[in-house]
Amino acid sequence: MPEPDLRRQLLSAVDAARDRLIETTQTLVRVASPNPPSDTTAIAPVAAALLKSIPGAEVETVVSAPGIVNLVARVKSGKPGRRLIFNGHLDTFPVGEDLGWTVPPLDGLLRDGRLYGRGVSDMKGGIACSLLAASLLALHRDAWAGEIVLTLAGDEENMGALGSGYLLEHVPLAKGDANICGDVGSPQVLRFGEKGLLWIDVEAVGAPAHGAHVHKGINAVDRLMTALSRIKDLEGLPVNAPASVTTAIAKAKAISEPLSGDGESETLQRVTVNIGTISGGISPNLIPAQAKASLDIRVPVGITVAELTSKLDAWLSPLPGISWRILRQYEPSFTEPESEIVTTVARAAAEVMGSAPALNMRVGASDSRWYRKFGVPTVVYGLTPFNMGAADEYVLVDELVAVAKVHTLAAFDFLKAS
């Protein structure tokens, strides 16, 4: 069959599989997989059955720790070529039964073009799109070369060290020539990178005394406030990002900010410091002897975690009674906007959506950073996350179909080129 005819056939096949796509998403949503406790033992066999329904798929179960079950499936064309990865995570935010849901959170309710349920956007709907893409391409192995691998991981909501990170380190099949991740975002925005992260605890100690006798004590909260003020100065550090990244962010602003909020472009390009928790003291009339804060620092492309920790050492070490420690860290990462996988997915999205998607960074994290760490070019292209993490999480069925089409065409284009 000529290539243009096959492309049209693949698009028509996704339309014809609309009900199947909905049912696959519902099947995944109906099995709770909240993180915490980072347990995918219930959802893994359900997802494995869906993987095994792909014609010719070879499915492997990988347990990285008690309760954390990951899956790897391979669909071979029978001809030498490249390996394309579809990556997704099986764990979700907590169900949140106390959040005031107006629909059952685990029923996968379909109503008025919306599909509801915990994890439907983040990211069981995206997984369903990738599953359908692999299934349809498995029926046309003669038209492409190489292989498709699907990695369905646990532990993503806990930073992924025992999920995608573990698979990439221990399972050679998890690596490939490119990766498409269906994590949340928008069909109008293709994400090619994300900020890094530095979580820290800061502690202050003082000397207790009565609150009226301030001359006799040392206030730990005062010391902590001084330290926090210095840490906030990280937000003013210069950032030297590559021109390809800054240009893409600027071009994406008109499309991306109406979806993700005014100020996203500026946030993507600077260090941000969020003081997430703070505590100290036991009574208003006592000088606190201890105080503590936990902070979430996000790191843009153009500056490193090491540069930030060096500044923190220099700024905080001279302060009396102050100590700090790193809780979690990883570097910012990106795939060049002109790389083949980015341009391939972008062309497919323009074809399906009728207009070119914006190419932009992500403010938040995804498992794609693990793939970039292991040298695999990666993009995130997924569904709009309505009410993600809150009550009545839902996706639009029309977007579900559109994302499935983009995954299918992009994978076909990437693999036929091999």
* Residue range 189-203: mean pLDDT, rounded: 98
Spatial contact of 118 and 374, defined as CB atoms under 8 Å apart: no
pLDDT in tens, 61-76: 999 999 999 999 999 9
Is residue 86 within a helix (H) or strand (E), and if so which, with residue range?
Answer: strand 83-89
CA atoms within 13 A on the CB side of 16: 7
Q: How far apart are alpha carbons 104 and 361 in whole angstroms?
A: 34
Is 121 a residue whose pLDDT tops 80? Answer: yes
Spatial contact of 72 and 173, defined as CB atoms under 8 Å apart: yes
* Residue range 16-42: mean pLDDT, rounded: 97
Spatial contact of 349 and 231, defined as CB atoms under 8 Å apart: no
Torsion, CA 351, CA 17, CA 380, CA 94, rounded to 10: 150
Q: How far apart are alpha carbons 23 and 115 in whole angstroms?
A: 10
Domains in the chain: ranges and CATH: 3-194+332-416 (3.40.630.10), 196-248+261-330 (3.30.70.360)
Is 418 a residue whose pLDDT tops 70? Answer: no
Grade residue 410 by pLDDT with cuts at 50, 70 and 90. very high
Per-residue pLDDT at 1? 63
Residue with tokens 């949340």: 184
Instruction: Classify each residue of 89-123 as buried b or exposed e, where b means 16 or more C-beta atoms within 10 Å of its C-beta.
Output: bbbbbebbeeeebebebbebbbeeebbbbbbbbbb
Dmax (CA) of the chain: 88
pLDDT in tens, 344-389: 999 999 999 999 999 999 998 899 999 999 999 999 999 999 999 9
* Residue range 8-12: mean pLDDT, rounded: 97
* Residue range 178-196: mean pLDDT, rounded: 97
Looking at the chain, the whole-number percentage of residues with pLDDT higher than 90 is 97
Per-residue pLDDT at 172? 97
* Residue range 318-338: mean pLDDT, rounded: 97
Per-residue pLDDT at 3? 78
pLDDT in tens, 234-282: 999 999 999 999 999 999 999 999 999 999 999 999 999 999 999 999 9
The single-letter code of the amino acid at 317 is: S
What integer best gives the mean pLDDT of the chain? 97
- E strands present in 206-305: 209-210, 272-280, 286-287, 290-299
